[in-house]
Amino acid sequence: MLKNALLLTVAILLLGCNSPSWVKNLNSGGALGTSYSIIYISDETLDYQKEIDSVFQAVNQSMSTYVPTSDISKINEGDSTVVVDDMFKEVFAISSNVHQASNGYFDPTIGVLANAWGFGPGEQIELDSLKVDSLLNYVGWEKVQLNSDNTITKANSAIRFDFNAVAKGYAIDRLGALLDAKGTDNYLVEVGGEVLAKGTNLVSGKQWTVGIDDPQVETGRQLKLIVTLEDKAMASSGNYRKFRIDSETGEKYVHTINPKTGYTQNSYVLATSVVANTCAVADAYATTFMAMDLEESKKVLAEHTELEAYIIYLDENGDTKEFMTSGFETFVKQ
């Protein structure tokens, strides 16, 4: 289920020329193992770099499995005394909701499997069916609990959390909250291909416009769709670029892990894009739909009308097909 920093890249397409009455402020760089670009429009030159860095630092300290001193790392190592912060609690709640809505296909307790398959910070091991079955004993959202004193209880100390499929989207939401608190009404936040758009691009006088990569272009990049967003978030996921090749067997292992089987998911779904009100929710469902069959994803979407989705897949003949909710169609720029 992990996407890490290799999610589908979303290109920011700024249209038009600069308006003399508005200033396009830009902060960009590297964070959370990927790159970011934050554009916010105002009537004066602003620079929120320090505040942006503080958001990334706080998210890392709470939920990064690559930071040994983070809360999640301590909890993963068996420390039951850690009192988690509000960010961890919010991501835990989001994870619980998506886990239930997806019938368990979204499960951030796959940390032991992520490590074993070579997609986490821990030791990669050679796996066979017996080892996978053994590791599945340490997977299951029903085996963890957020207590009233904000500590975490695990049914087994070996259970390991991995919020990589939701934390990046959540970080984007926190960056949006930062800009909201600053009184900024028009911005586009992008981290590792996930985006949150508010208002419009006043510089161009048009809506924020982003692109979705074609998952079948292996070298370089080519856009599959261009969409416009206003007061919405979009996250994308795909298996076409993030994978590991076994040096001895040549076998391909993709990064989406099915928490029900314990195996990396080699499915006919090539890529997903989800639009939601928050990027954390969009992020979680984009990963979930990579692990689920298309028909199962359609059922979830029918039950959760607050979500819109675009899914690229292969049919039984190996031909590329697309599924798009009617709401997603309204975002597509013709």
Q: Stretch 200-204: mean pLDDT, rounded?
A: 95
> The pTM is what?
0.89
pLDDT recorded at residue 282: 98
pLDDT bin (cut points 50, 70, 90) of residue 254 is low
User: 132 is written with which tokens?
Assistant: 């996978």
Distance CA 17, CA 237 (A): 31
Distance CA 219, CA 23 (A): 35
How would you write the chain as a 3-class SS string? CCCCCCCCCEEECCCCCCCCCCEEEEEEEEECCEEEEEEEEECCCCCCHHHHHHHHHHHHHHHCCCCCCCHHHHHHCCCCCCCCCHHHHHHHHHHHHHHHHCCCCCCCCCHHHHHHCCCCCCCCCCCCHHHHHHHHHHCCHHHEEECCCCCEEECCCCCCCCCCCCHHHHHHHHHHHHHHHCCCCCEEEEECCEEEEECCECCCCECEEEEEECCCCCCCCCEEEEEEECCEEEEEEECCCCEEECCCCCCEEECCECCCCCCECCCCEEEEEEEECCHHHHHHHHHHHHHCCHHHHHHHHHHCCCCEEEEEEECCCCCEEEEECHHHHCCECC
pLDDT surpasses 50 at 7: no
Q: Is the Cβ–Cβ distance between 240 and 217 less than 8 Å?
A: no
pLDDT bin (cut points 50, 70, 90) of residue 215 is confident
Share of the chain above pLDDT 90, in %: 71
User: 270 is written with which tokens?
Assistant: 């090539």
**pLDDT tens for each residue of 78-131:** 999 999 999 999 999 999 999 999 999 999 999 999 888 887 887 888 878 899
The residues, ordered by sequence, that sit 6+ positions from 51 with a Cβ below 8 Å of its Cβ are: 178, 182
Fold of 10-329: T-fold (3.10.520)
**pLDDT tens for each residue of 133-189:** 999 999 999 999 999 999 999 999 999 999 999 999 999 999 999 999 999 999 999
pLDDT recorded at residue 280: 98
CA 72-76-82 angle, to 5 degrees, is 55
Q: Stretch 244-253: mean pLDDT, rounded?
A: 50
pLDDT bin (cut points 50, 70, 90) of residue 20 is low
Distance CA 26, CA 173 (A): 17
Beta-carbon count within 10 A of 43 CB: 9
HSE-CB of 80 using CA atoms within 13 angstroms: 10
**pLDDT tens for each residue of 130-146:** 998 999 999 999 999 99
Distance CA 208, CA 316 (A): 36
pLDDT bin (cut points 50, 70, 90) of residue 219 is low
